[in-house]
Amino acid sequence: MTSTSNAPPDLRPKYKYYDLVMAAFVTVLLCSNLIGPAKLCTVGGITFGAGNIFFPISYIFGDILTEVYGYSRSRRVIWVGFAALLFASIMSQVVIRMPGLSDASQMETQAAIERVFGGTWRIALASICGFWAGEFANSYTLAKMKVRSEGKRLWLRFICSTIVGQAVDTAVFYPLAFFGLWTNSQLFAVIIANYVFKVLWEILGTPATYAIVGFLKRKEQEDYFDRDTNFSPFTMKD
C-alpha cells in the first residue's frame, strides 16, 4: 500500500472506486434532503425528520473519501454534492410553480407534490449551507488528525471528525431554518436531540466504515496523507 501525498496530480494513479463512492455520496445526500424531511418521526419522545436516519451516511462517505483519497478529492465531491443539492432545490421550486391541468386528479397531484417538495427557501438554503460547512469541517478535521497521528487510531479520527462536522452542520442548519419560528427552548432542545442522534448513529456505523476503508485501501493501493495540501474549500488545486 502506498501514499501519493507528495506526488503531482498528473502522476497519481487512476482509481477504480472513487467515482462509485462519489455517486453513492451524492445519492444519499439528495435522497435524505429531498425525501426525508417530508416525514417526521418520534422515537422515545424525540421528534426528528426521517432524513436524519440516512443523512449521517453522507458523513460516513465523507470519512471514507478523505481517509483513502485525501482532502482535495473529498473537496471535489463536497462541491459536487453542493451543486446537486442546489440544482435539486431550484428544480423542485420550478416544478411546483409551473401551471398544471385544472382537473381534479392533477390538482390532487399538485397538492401532494407541494406537501413533499414544497419546503421554504429558508429551509432549503439552511440545509445546503449546513451540509457545506459540516462536510468541510468533517473532512478537514479527519485529514489533519491523520497527519498528526501518522495514520494511527483510525476509530478516534472517525469519531472526532464526526463530532466536529455534525456540530457545525447542526449549528448552521437549525438556527438558519427555524430561528424566530420556534421558541429558543424548543430550538435548543431539537438541536441537542438531533445532534446526539446523528453522532451516535455514525459511531454505530464505525465498524462498517472500517471495513469499507480497509477494502478500498487494498484495492486502490492508496492511503493518502494531506501533508502539503491546500485546505481552502474554495480551490480545486492540491
Q: How confident is the model at residue 221 (pLDDT cuts 50, 70, 90)?
A: very high
**Straight-line distance from the first to the last Cα atom of the chain, in angstroms, rounded to the nearest whole number:** 21
pLDDT digits (tens, 9 = 90+) for 136-169: 999 999 999 999 999 999 999 999 999 999 999 9
What average pLDDT score do residues 73-88 get? 95
Which of 47-51, 52-56, 92-96, 212-216 reaches the highest mean pLDDT? 212-216
The pLDDT value given to residue 123: 83
The pLDDT value given to residue 93: 83
3-state SS string over the chain? CECCCCCCHHHCCCCCCHHHHHHHHHHHHHHHHHCHHHCEEEECCEEEECHHHHCHHHHHHHHHHHHHHCHHHHHHHHHHHHHHHHHHHHHHHHHHHCCCCCCHHHHHHHHHHHHHHCCCHHHHHHHHHHHHHHHHHHHHHHHHHHHHCCCCCHHHHHHHHHHHHHHHHHHHHHHHHHECCECHHHHHHHHHHHHHHHHHHHHHCHHHHHHHHHHHHHHHCECCCCCCCCCCCCCCCC
The pLDDT value given to residue 118: 64
The pLDDT value given to residue 147: 97
Percentage of the residues of the chain whose pLDDT score is greater than 90: 58
Percentage of the residues of the chain whose pLDDT score is greater than 70: 85
The pLDDT of residue 200 is above 60? yes
The pLDDT of residue 32 is above 60? yes
Contact present, 131 and 171 (Cβ < 8 Å): no
What average pLDDT score do residues 85-94 get? 89
The pLDDT of residue 21 is above 70? yes
pLDDT digits (tens, 9 = 90+) for 5-14: 555 544 456 8
The pLDDT value given to residue 46: 65
Q: What is the pTM of this model?
A: 0.88
Q: Which domains does the chain have, with CATH numbers?
A: 16-220 (1.10.1760)
The pLDDT value given to residue 54: 83
